[in-house]
Amino acid sequence: MPTFAPGTVINDRYELRSKLGSDGHVYEAHDRHFDSTVAVKLLDPVAGESSRSWDEARRLEKLSSRCLLGVLNADIDNASDIRFIVTPLVTGGDMETMAKNLGLGLHNTARVIRHAAAGIDRIHAEGMLHRDIKPGNVLIDGDTVLVSDLGYCAIMDADCTTDANGTWQTVAPEVASGGRCSISSDVYSLGATAFYAFSGEYPVSLRLQLTEQIERIKSGDLRELRDLAPHVPQSVATVVRKSLAMVPQDRYDSVEAFANALASAMDGRRDWQKVAHDAHALCVAGAPFKTQGKVLVCAERRGTGITIIARHESSKRRVKGCADTNVQLNRLPVELRRIVGALS
């Protein structure tokens, strides 16, 4: 995909101004017809698709949901045969940026996934698949959650599948292995997105070489959510793990069923959020719960070991029943899960 210079005009209408975000194919643009500022995403050419009628475009423009970033136009550039979609310009952040390293917190993640699932379910109801669900395509602006990047949506065939597509970090193993996309692969991708929202990391570490990441995705060799995010309840981790099942039939039947299961697993539980403290290995904050105020559970590095402390945020006094505990690094997740569980 070539890079387009500021001032480039597409179809005598959209004047590109500047790139948006880390994806070099998305541009802020001026819509000359309506004298408005929009976002234009240019889609990588697909072999054999430049001359066919883009049936998805008509469906995308008809999609309406409070949880979907609306498509204002979907067309093909007359000069290059590159497909593009036009959406409103959103000023809020995306989940990938907002949840990096620390996650979004338990309750907020359940809320965001519920809204994202509602948008994706609307796409499925229209007989299409999203095919690229990932944290970067979930936009968050206060209480508003929007699923974006509908340009790779595709109409399902008679067997309810489409050609393969996706991003390695959240792609389903059967798709990574050359299979076709399905509702089940969208469920998997939303599950991987939830994993990131809870932990701030993907099921397979980005620190690995890409070839090894791909092999682990294909084989279902994923990290345990509670090793990265010990504050996540076992019930929630079980729901996320089911959405990431290696066998498509073992996953939830729909994104809505997954989101509902996640909400049920969180019901009545204390809200926890990872927080960053200098020289600490891992810290989590528990929101006020029942008669208790906000608490902090921190893993402080002390010499060659780690000491876990639990304190009331306001008074800095030790939480009753939670003595300071010395642990080795490899035992940290286990001990944090125990302490957080006792306070939840």
pLDDT (tens, 9 = 90+) of the chain, 344 residues, equals 677 889 999 999 999 999 886 555 889 999 999 999 999 988 866 555 543 445 666 677 778 889 999 888 888 888 887 888 898 988 788 999 999 999 999 999 999 999 999 999 999 999 999 999 999 999 998 899 999 888 788 999 999 999 999 999 999 999 999 999 999 999 999 999 999 999 999 999 999 999 999 999 999 999 999 999 999 999 999 999 999 999 999 999 999 999 999 999 998 999 999 999 998 999 999 999 988 899 999 999 988 889 999 999 999 999 999 999 999 989 999 999 999 999 99
SS (HEC) of 269-297: CCCEEEECCCCEEEEEEECCECCECCEEE
Domain 93-266: CATH superfamily is Transferase(Phosphotransferase) domain 1 (1.10.510.10)
With beta carbons less than 8 A apart as the criterion, state whether 86 and 26 touch.
Answer: no
Q: For residue 75, what pLDDT is reported? A: 85
Q: For residue 305, what pLDDT is reported? A: 87
Q: Which structure tokens are listed for 43?
A: 């889609």
With beta carbons less than 8 A apart as the criterion, state whether 286 and 295 touch.
Answer: yes
**Tally of CB atoms within 10 A around 237:** 19
- CATH assignment of 9-88, among 3.40.50.300, 3.30.200.20, 3.40.50.1370, 2.40.10.220: 3.30.200.20
Q: For residue 52, what pLDDT is reported? A: 41
Q: For residue 251, what pLDDT is reported? A: 98
Q: For residue 90, what pLDDT is reported? A: 84
Across the chain, the runs of DSSP E, i.e. the strands, are 9-10, 14-19, 26-31, 36-42, 73-76, 83-88, 93-94, 128-129, 138-141, 144-147, 154-155, 161-162, 181-182, 272-275, 280-286, 295-302, 305-312, 325-327
pTM of the model: 0.90
Please compute Rg for the chain using Cα positions.
22
- What are the C-alpha distances in Å from 143 to residues 92, 109, 115, 307? 11, 12, 10, 37
Q: Where are the domains of the chain?
A: 9-88, 93-266, 272-342
Burial status of residue 279 (CB atoms within 10 A of its CB: 0-12, 13-18, 19 or more) = exposed
Q: Which structure tokens are listed for 107?
A: 């309750």
Q: For residue 50, what pLDDT is reported? A: 46
